[in-house]
Amino acid sequence: MLEVRDLKVNYGAIKALHGISLRVNQGEIVTLIGSNGAGKSTTLRTISGLLRPASGDILFEGASIRATPPHEIVRLGLVQSPEGRGVFPNMTVDENLQLGAFVRPASERGAIAADRERALGLFPRLRERLKQSAGTLSGGEQQMLAMARALIAKPRLLLLDEPSLGLAPQIVQTIFKIIRDINASGTTILLVEQNANMALRVAHRAYVLEVGRITMEGAAAELAQSDEVRKAYLGHG
Amino acid sequence: MRHGVDQHAMQPGASSLTTLVRAWAPVLACLLLAVVLQMVVGPLLVSAGWDFAAKLLLDIGINVILAVSLTMVNGFTGQFSIGHAAFMAVGAYVAAGIVYYGSFRLFGSAEMAGGLLSSAPEGRQGAWLTRGDALFGLSILAGGVASAGCGYLVGLPSLRLRGDYLAIVTLGFGEIVRVLIQSQTTETLYDPEEIAKTPLWQLPKYLGGALGFSGLPFYTSLFWVWVFALLTVLVAYRIKSSTYGRAFLSIREDEIASEAMGVDTTRYKVRAFVISAFFAGCAGALFAHTVGVQLNAGELGFVKSFDIIIMVVLGGLGSISGAFLAAIILTILPELLRSVSEYRMVAYATALILMMLLRPQGLLGVREIWDKRTWRWLTGSRTRKRGGS
């Protein structure tokens, strides 16, 4: 479904990605783990068109999207839930959700309402807070809102950027359970995470990113067992 | 326009007739209100001896157009334009040129040839609208369109960049417009025969240059000003409450997230900029034909731009009703302070500083006066908790 080929990205003179390649198949949860500054978010932002690669290519359903502007990429069904939650703080939860449907034509009214219901079903807390400003939500609720909003855009491939960032462990559990639910209902997911422990538990396959290079890849369950990963990311000595 | 339709107008089951009525009724209401102001309120004020109030209502209306239109850029999309007066100048000069030389060509002189709706409250007679009004009305629109065109040219390259760059570009644009107008010949033609002989394309040279464009007919009336002021508010409101408008607001809130939702942020910023420039141009056209105004580009420099920004900031960035209120307050305040004549500007500045200290978010913040939340927030009964996990 998504294929990244030898992607190189620079921030000015600084090379952030030294040629990474990865693949996401239909129906999978693929996770990209790595420590701070490894280039995880850079990868995701390049895929969604917010950054331009210096070289390499990105194929979505076989067609190159490396020069496609971000708003067109969303229309193709590749939707990102941005890092740091990226909700619109002065708008209500309801208005945030409406912006999720921004790329969908008005003729899909019925389908949009159904998707909204489905998203609110996944995140019942949001339903209680529809009229509240998004900026007054707790961190976990903001994360839920960002994900619900992305779901209403009807993604074929959902890009999640650090959904567990700065959240209490209990909320993280909830969020990851919902990620699995979203996937079970047919949405392919590319998950970028620092929390390797949780990410490897929900993902089918995983890539390990270290300073701009992919150093390991494979089935998530196998990686979780590998010594290097356990040492470096899972806190087992 | 896929996203542009007002939500209320799209409720399922609404027939096309109801939709039509809902879409146009507010426009008619604006027209009606402006007519009432012109035909009833104006004469009442004058007969009560409050001529100054009638004049003040003109200034307020023009400032409302300026402030509310700038709100669409600085408030809705969160960009920072500081060249709003330049768009006003473009509209003013385009309209003034058309009205002045158009009057000579069509009617033989630049005498005011308007009907009741564009006359001052005193000494009115004749038809409601005349050929002169048609010329004036069209010239306002032409001023708006010319200004919108400039907005597009300035906005397209600069709105790709972030905030500060736009500020610099708009500041530069403002100065360019001012200098270009002022460096033209100071001549204004006033001999009908000479004007009739001069080819049409040469007339735009004679706009008075640095001396100012004098001899313009005073068409601007309560009717014209408030038709445009109310329409500006209506358009701003419609934009803000539509899906289309939420795209504008989302850019201010978080540009990256907005892109991630599929909003073409550059295009939307340019759109807001063009719409805003259009109304600024209309305001300029109205300003140029106001009693007691001698159109001079020197007065439409960045000082004027800052006056408008102050209104927008004071009202609360993004609040239409806030900009409206601030335009009223900041038009009246200098007049009230006339009693302390020489300290007037000091008092004005002090008042502004105090306002910003006491309400840094502006009068209404991002809210509108009709929001329920505003009242809870103004009265301080904030019960919801913030933050959390």
3 state SS of B253: helix
pTM here? 0.86
Last residue of a domain, one of A100, A126, A154: A154
Q: pLDDT tens digits, residue range B283-333?
A: 999 999 998 888 988 889 888 998 899 899 888 888 999 999 999 998 998
Which residue(s) pair with B172 in the sheet?
A: none
Pair (A129, A33) in one structural domain: no
Pair (A93, A208) in one structural domain: no
CB contact under 8 A, A102 and B388: no
Q: pLDDT tens digits, residue range B36-69?
A: 888 888 888 888 888 888 889 999 999 999 999 9
State which residue of chain B sits closest to A171, comparing Cα positions: B389
Q: Which pLDDT band, with edges at 50, 70 and 90, does B23 fall under? A: confident
Residue B378 confidence (pLDDT) above 90: no
Pair (A146, A161) in one structural domain: no
Kindly state the tokens that stand for A171.
């909320």
The shortest C-alpha distance from B347 to chain A (Å) reads 34
Residue B112 confidence (pLDDT) above 60: yes
Residue B195 confidence (pLDDT) above 70: yes
CB contact under 8 A, B261 and A102: yes
Percentages helix, strand, coil for chain B (3-state, rounded to 5) are: 70, 0, 30
Q: Please tell me which of the candidates A71, A106, A138 has its beta carbon nearest to residue B2.
A: A106
Low-confidence ranges of chain A (pLDDT < 50): none
State which residue of chain A sits closest to B262, comparing Cα positions: A71
Residue B366 confidence (pLDDT) above 80: no
CB contact under 8 A, B388 and A138: yes
Pair (A2, A118) in one structural domain: no
> What was the pLDDT predicted at A190?
95
Residue B362 confidence (pLDDT) above 50: yes
Which residue(s) pair with A208 in the sheet?
A: A33, A216
In angstroms, how far apart are the furthest CA atoms of chain A? 56
Restricting to B residues 305-324, those with a Cβ less than 8 Å away from any Cβ of A are 318
Pair (A123, A188) in one structural domain: no
Pair (A64, A166) in one structural domain: yes
- Closest listed residue to residue B275, CA positions, set B304, B232, B226: B232
CA A166, CA A7: separation in Å to the nearest integer? 29
A235-A30-A150 Cα angle (round to 5): 110
Say if CB B142 and CB B94 are below 8 A apart: yes
Pair (A67, A165) in one structural domain: yes
> What was the pLDDT predicted at B374?
67
Best of A87, A99, A138 to mutate (most B CBs within 10 Å, chain B):
A99
B195 touches A at CB < 8 Å = no
Best of A42, A45, A71 to mutate (most B CBs within 10 Å, chain B):
A71
Q: Is residue A82 in some structural domain?
A: no
3 state SS of A153: coil
> What was the pLDDT predicted at B380?
59
CB contact under 8 A, B260 and A141: no
Q: Please tell me which of the candidates B254, B264, B384 has its beta carbon nearest to residue A71.
A: B264
CA B389, CA B375: separation in Å to the nearest integer? 29
Amino acid at A36: N
Restricting to B residues 115-154, those with a Cβ less than 8 Å away from any Cβ of A are none
Pair (A111, A228) in one structural domain: no
If you average pLDDT over residues B80-101, what whole number do you get? 94
> What was the pLDDT predicted at B268?
92
Q: Is residue A165 in some structural domain?
A: yes
State which residue of chain A sits closest to B268, comparing Cα positions: A71
Q: pLDDT tens digits, residue range B140-167?
A: 999 999 999 999 999 888 888 776 788 8
Residue B17, CA atoms < 13 Å, CB-side half-sphere = 0
The shortest C-alpha distance from B147 to chain A (Å) reads 29
* Domain map (residue ranges) of chain B: 8-301
Pair (A73, A162) in one structural domain: yes
Last residue of a domain, one of A132, A154, A176: A154
Residues 6+ apart with CB under 8 A from B34: B222, B223, B224, B225, B226, B227, B230
The shortest C-alpha distance from B265 to chain A (Å) reads 8
Amino acid at A184: A
CB contact under 8 A, A102 and B256: no
Residues of A with Cβ-Cβ distance to B262 under 8 angstroms: 70-71, 74-75, 79, 102-103, 153
B4 touches A at CB < 8 Å = no
Pair (A237, A161) in one structural domain: yes
Residues of B with Cβ-Cβ distance to A49 under 8 angstroms: 259
> What was the pLDDT predicted at B8?
44
The 8-class DSSP code of residue A236 comes to -
CA B275, CA B252: separation in Å to the nearest integer? 17
B11 touches A at CB < 8 Å = no
Residues of B with Cβ-Cβ distance to A48 under 8 angstroms: 260
| pLDDT top residue among B107 and A21 | A21
Residues of A with Cβ-Cβ distance to B250 under 8 angstroms: 88, 91, 99
> What was the pLDDT predicted at B388?
38
The shortest C-alpha distance from A100 to chain B (Å) reads 6
B366 touches A at CB < 8 Å = yes
Q: How would you classify the pairing of strands A157-161 and A188-193?
A: parallel
Say if CB A71 and CB B262 are below 8 A apart: yes
Pair (A170, A146) in one structural domain: no
CB contact under 8 A, A138 and B389: yes
Say if CB B247 and CB B77 are below 8 A apart: no
Total count of domains within chain A? 2
Q: pLDDT tens digits, residue range B213-256?
A: 888 889 999 999 999 999 999 999 999 888 888 899 999 888 88
Complete edge-to-edge strand list for the sheet that includes strand A55-60: A14-24, A2-11, A55-60, A63-64
A contact set with B (CB within 8 A) = 48-50, 69-71, 74-75, 79-82, 86-91, 95, 98-103, 105-106, 109, 132, 136-141, 146, 149-150, 153, 167-168, 170-171
> What was the pLDDT predicted at B5?
42
Q: Please tell me which of the candidates A81, A98, A153 has its beta carbon nearest to residue B262.
A: A153
Amino acid at B365: G
Domain containing residue A27: 1-77+157-237
Q: What is the four-CA torsion angle of A112, A115, A119, A124, rounded to 10 degrees?
A: 90
